[in-house]
Every structure is written in structure tokens, then in C-alpha cells.
Amino acid sequence: MINKIIKLLTLICLIACIAWYFNKPDWEPLITGIGIFSALIGLEFAETKSIKNNPDIVLYRKFIFLIPSATLIEFLKNHDFGGPFDSEILRPLDDFVAYWDNAEHEFVNSKIEKKKEMLLSVIHDFLSCIGHNTYPTHNDSQSIPAEWQEDQRERWNQARQELNKLADVVVEKHQELVRIAKNLLHV
């Protein structure tokens, strides 16, 4: 926030120097304007460099690329797991559980890391539930067995409710991680 204020004030000073130069063309406003413009460029480069050097920002961007809100999380939010689904859409969750539970994928900020660990846990539970309660169908999708709906209605309902509930928890924990990371990392 402070950087934005400094950049805004620098920009205002640059505009004032330009007005000064047009009002009274001379070397003083020109040199002052060039100096302020250089400071503005320096502030921009310093901010860009600090973002590139922040390991949490780099890791957060990798996380958002792997599990974006607009596709996978929207699917989990809107899909009723009583119906069939393409198991490939859940592949990023498998990758997250398989590859993000290590030191290379730890956030330096302990609050963000705690949210990531909670998300890892609920995704693991969700994927375990998928594994126990769904099976491949004849059309290359995954589903709770249709015969359960007729022969074991209570089991089918329980599996559906548990999957939908866990999907909702994954969405909630994902959004919590995104919110806290955006707040703490200013991205």
C-alpha cells in the first residue's frame, strides 16, 4: 500500500513538472522531470523484483495454476456427485496431494502454510471417498454405481451426500487459502 502511495505521489510530481516545463520551458523543469521519471521507473522495477524474489508469491502462482477457482473449483461447487463425472477433471487434485506435501512446496508464511495443509487433508479425504464410492462406467466417466441406487438406496444416498459434502469442504478450504494468500502476499 505504501508503495502505491509513493508511486502515486511520484506520478503527481511528474505531471506537475511537465506542466511547469510547458508553462516555462527551461532546463530546471526538464531535469527535474527526468529525475522524477527515473524514480518512477526505479520504483516499478523494484516492485517487480520484490515480487519475483518472494518465494510465497511464486508458490502461490503455481498453486493457482494447478487448482484454479474458475474451472476445477467451480466444478466441485456445482457438480452433484450422484451423477457421472470425468475423472480427468480431478487430476490436479491427485497431483496436489502427490507432489505438494513436501518442503519444496511449503509456504514461508505459516498462516498460508497452515491453510495449505488443511486443504491437502480435505482433498486427500475427498479423493479417498471418490476411490471407495465411485467406479468407471461404460462411457469413460466415473460414478457411484447405478445399481446401488436400486439395490442399496441408503448406501447410494450416503455416498452421494458424503462426496458432495467433501467437495464443498474442498471448495471452502481452497477459497480460504486463496483469500489469506491474496491478503498477506498482496497479489
**Which cell numbers in the block locate residue 116?**
495449505
Contact criterion met (CB below 8 Å) for 178 and 64: yes
Q: What is the pLDDT of residue 51?
A: 52
d(CA 30, CA 164): 65
Quote the pLDDT of residue 125. Answer: 98
Q: What is the pLDDT of residue 132?
A: 96
Contacts for 56 with CB less than 8 Å, ≥ 6 apart: 107, 108, 109, 112, 181, 184, 185
Query: How confident is the prediction along the chain (187 residues), in pLDDT tens digits per residue?
Result: 566 777 776 777 768 767 777 887 877 776 776 777 777 777 776 655 555 578 999 999 999 999 999 999 999 999 999 999 999 999 999 999 999 999 999 999 999 999 999 999 999 999 999 999 999 988 889 999 989 988 999 999 999 999 999 999 999 999 999 999 999 998 8
Q: Which long-range contacts link 137-142 to residues 24+ away (Cβ below 8 Å)? A: 137/84, 139/84, 140/86, 141/84, 141/85, 141/86, 141/87, 142/84, 142/85, 142/86, 142/87
